[in-house]
Structure 1
Amino acid sequence: MFLIILGFLIVILSVISAKTDTPLIRYSKLIRIAGIVIIILGASLSMFKVIPAGQVGVKTLYGKVDNDVLFSGLNVINPLVEVTTFDVKTQNYTMSAVHDEGNKAGDDAIRILTSDGLEVTIDLSVLFSVTPKDAPRILKEIGDDYLDKIVRPIARTAIRDNAVSYEAVALYSTKRQEFQNKIFSAIDLSFSKRGLKLEQLLVRNVTLPESVRKAIESKINAEQDAQKMQFVLQKEKQLAERKRIEAQGIADYQRILSTGLSDKQLQYESILAQKDIALSPNTKIIIMGNGKTPVILSGN
């Protein structure tokens, strides 16, 4: 476009110089030819537009937006049109309390009030893309700065509007996924009306007030101590039960010995013991006296 304008200016200069008595009059024809060549060259170059991969182009002619989209690759266009490119790949817009982590420098986290009146800080990442066929509408109705005009305000508003239904602790723990699903639906609906597609929503961090965090930590520590004490008591109870059973077994054994064994049974048990000793290769049995009391002598 610049070359075309430059060529026209050179042609106009040649015409003016040809009608005036200036030193350029002798070169007016040559200047005119040079201007025409530049116009042709500029028109030839402007007719070809390369759209990079992952982008689409929107044509504008004298402020009028063309609804036909230029897709990636080489395109032949009117040399007078201007082309605005839109990125249609997945984009990430992050709002974080960590400096230099989000799209805006500094602390850009979302601070909200929950149903119990506590202030909670949320870090959020919005993954979205531009719908290619809606790129001309975005340029006409929003412009190419849709991040600041659409993505950021809609995401922050959806967070605040839905957070008032939850208590701070629930938002931090049990209701976190439910909360994320709700704001996803709200943002997705608003985006779709404006030519954007919400792909994923990530509630990356929920930060509770310091007083609430300390209360939760104290509760967790108390629960852990109670569980530990319960384990100790259970172990002591099991140990006491084991000792009771052992004592009961010893008492039962002693009672059986004292009341249940006859003289014949004791004599039988003695014979069995003597038999085991007699079969041992390291011993010999010598019967002395009347044969009722054996004397056992070692064979080694």
Structure 2
Amino acid sequence: MEELDLPDPDDPPAPPKEPQEETAEQRAAALRAQRTLKLLTVLLTVCPTLVVAALARTNPYVEPGHEGYVYERPRIFGHGGFQGTVAGPGNFGLSLFRNEAISIDMRPQTHSEAFEVLAQDDLTLQFKFHAVISIEQGSVVRVVNEYGGLDWYPRFVAEPFRSFVRDAVQQYQSTDLKTTMDDCARIVHERLERYLEKTPFKLVNLSVGDINYPLVVVQAVERKLAAQQLLAEKDTQQQIVIKDAAIEVNRAKGKAEAQRIISSTLTSHYLQHEAIDAQKKLAESPNNTTIYIPLGPTSSQ
């Protein structure tokens, strides 16, 4: 049996071990650990509070010229719904609810519609109508609840507006629309204004753009205008020829009248007188020789 090496009770006790000194690296590591623990404690305490505060506070903003329909969008619990209105520019105000705003532009806006419509003579015309419509101040609740909010124009106005234009255009011949389009626009204006009479929407102005005819019609009109211009030129040339002929007739009449007058004044005595004057002038000339030849008894006749 193996004997155990037990200390002798008579031996003096061993001196206690001295603790080892902590190094600088160990102290720095311990300090970093303490700081990290404190930072984590602060973050775990403060961050949830900040997140909750940020999510709980809302303040919707509405731009100038707009009105805002403010409603609550529940986060977890609640029913939400309408909270109030705000006129821009401005904010609804801080709230613990998650409020949002539907911003409606109340200022006059131009709404353009392009058309390709058959006229009364079955000719397809292309043109545009422009309607300027504003929204009555303070009516944002009606606009959202009754007319579709931001989609109020396509949902409530666009289709009736188009129908009024088509009905008015089809009453006229395509060749007359250039001169009667103002009457057509007046009809559409009256019908659209009457349609919007009991709504928050007000028709400010209505105008018509250029009318575009089919290419075949444009070419036919150009040919007609060219023919009319050529005809006008021919008429002008004809008038010139007539005037020239009248001038020649008057010139001929003048010559004939002159000859008649001359012929009526050329008597035998006048001719003898003119002959004697001519002979006198010849006799006075130094380079002239006059020879008289008697002709006998008949020369005096």
Q: Normalised by the size of structure 2, how large is the TM-score? A: 0.59
1-structure distance, mates of 2:284, 2:107: 103
SS in 2 for 1:83: strand
Contact in 2 for aligned 1:128/1:198 (Cα 8 Å): yes
2:101 aligned to which of 61, 83, 90:
83
| Aligned equivalent of 1:71, options 87, 90, 100 | 87
The two structures, once aligned, show a CA RMSD in angstroms of: 3.9
**1:238 corresponds to:** 243
Matched, 1:54 2:72: no
**Aligned-partner SS, 1:197:** strand
Taking the aligned partners of 1:260 and 1:137, their CA distance within structure 2 comes to 110
TM-score, L = length of structure 1: 0.59
How far has the Cα of 1:144 moved from its partner? 1.0
Match of 1:150 among 156, 168, 177: 156
SS of the residue aligned with 2:64? coil
Q: Counterparts of 1:166 and 1:77 in 2: how far apart (Å)?
A: 57
Give 1:267-278 correspondences, 5 Å limit: none
Equivalent position amino acid for 1:161 in 2? D
Q: Distance in 1 between matches of 2:48 and 2:150?
A: 39
Aligned to 2:193: 188
Residue in 1 that maps onto 2:23: none
Answer yes or no: is 1:168 the counterpart of 2:174. Answer: yes
- Tell me the matched-pair count: 228
Give 1 or 2: higher strand fraction. 1
Question: In structure 2, what is the Cα distance between the partners aligned to 1:156 and 1:198?
Answer: 15
Task: Give the Cα–Cα distance (whole angstroms) in 2 for the partners of residues 34 and 177 of structure 1.
Answer: 64
Task: Answer with 1 or 2: which has the greater Rg.
Answer: 2
- In 2, are the aligned partners of 1:65 and 1:136 still within 8 Å (CA)? no
Distance between the aligned counterparts of 2:181 and 2:216, measured in 1?
20
Distance 2:206 2:118 in 1: 20
Distance apart, 1:182 and its partner CA: 1.5
Structure 1 unmatched runs, 5+: 1-23, 96-108, 268-288, 296-300
How far is the alpha carbon of 1:291 from its aligned partner? Answer: 9.0
Distance 2:66 2:196 in 1: 19
Deviation of residue 37 (structure 1)? 5.3
What letter matches 1:74 in structure 2?
Answer: G
Measure, in 2, the Cα distance between the counterparts of 1:234 and 1:167.
Answer: 37
Q: What amino acid is the match of 2:243?
A: Q
Query: Counterpart amino acid of 2:172?
Result: Y
Distance in 1 of aligned mates of 2:133 and 2:214: 31
**Percent of aligned pairs sharing the same letter:** 20
Asked if 1 retains the 8 angstrom alpha-carbon contact of 2:126 and 2:213, the reply is yes
